[in-house]
């Protein structure tokens, strides 16, 4: 087997594993968000997030909730730009 094929197979498996793990964590987050909705009341999720987890965007939270509830979600991905290293 060529080195290129071996590396490609390795990266393919890692990518699949990490994507699957990401969806599992998103579903767990969705379960926690469902609990927040239950405790905070209907329509209060965004306010609760603002007050308690402001780093979590409401749109992403809603996607996690949908995933937990077994609904289909759409994911868009792109390669992040590499950060420039500044010399001092």
> Residues 14-59: pLDDT tens digits?
999 999 999 999 999 999 999 999 999 979 999 999 999 999 999 9
pLDDT score of 88: 60
The C-alpha angle 11, 15, 18, rounded to 5 degrees, equals 135
Residue ranges of alpha helices (H) inside 41-78 are: 45-52, 58-68
Domain chopping of the chain, boundaries:
3-68
Size of the chain in residues: 88
Q: Is the pLDDT of residue 86 over 80?
A: no
pLDDT band of 70, cuts 50, 70, 90 = very high
The model's pTM is 0.80
Neighbours of 84 (CB within 10 A): 5
Residues near 66 by beta carbon (within 8 Å), at least 6 away in sequence: 30, 72, 73
């Amino acid at each position: 087997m060529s080195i290129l094929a071996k590396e490609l197979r390795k990266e393919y498996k890692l990518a699949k594993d990490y994507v699957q793990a990401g969806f599992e964590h998103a579903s767990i987050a969705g379960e926690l968000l469902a609990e927040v909705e239950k405790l905070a009341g209907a329509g209060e999720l965004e306010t609760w997030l603002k007050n308690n987890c402001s780093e979590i965007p409401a749109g992403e939270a809603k996607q996690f909730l949908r995933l937990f509830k077994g609904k289909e979600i759409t994911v868009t991905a792109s390669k992040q730009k590499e950060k420039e290293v500044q010399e001092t």
